[in-house]
Amino acid sequence: MKLRLGTRGSRLALAQADIAKKALEGLGFNVDLVIVRTKGDICKDRPVEELERGTFVKEIERKLFEGNIDLAVHSAKDMPSKLPEGLEVVAYLKREDPSDCLVTPDGRKLDELE
């Protein structure tokens, strides 16, 4: 079965989509990546905090509803807490190494930040 997997075109999104693509191919699916430009990708001159909620997912959701893609990969940080009627999260990929670190210019620790 052929699937069209929607993703943003950022390096992070493409890396995540490639992981999902390989997982689906391991299950016997034939997967094509479909890059979707979102408002968040187009408005690069504005700080992220000034963009409206859902800026990085609304266009991908529209493509799902229109039938232009069969499924999508998102960073959980970009997902709204409540999905539009008709969409649902059906899978999460295995978590990778969670050992991110915080580096501050003045050496403050996380609990010391305001």
Q: Which residue has the tokens 């408002």?
A: 39
Per annotation, catalytic residue among 78, 100, 106, 111: 78
The alpha carbon of 71 is separated from its chain's Cα centroid by a whole number of angstroms, namely 12
70 is catalytic: no
Query: For residues 93 and 25, what is the distance between their CA atoms, to the nearest angstrom?
Result: 14
38 to 57, 63, 90, 103, 111: CA distances (angstroms): 7, 11, 22, 30, 34
Query: For residues 42 and 34, what is the distance between their CA atoms, to the nearest angstrom?
Result: 17
E strand spans, the chain: 2-7, 30-35, 71-72
- The residues that are catalytic are 78
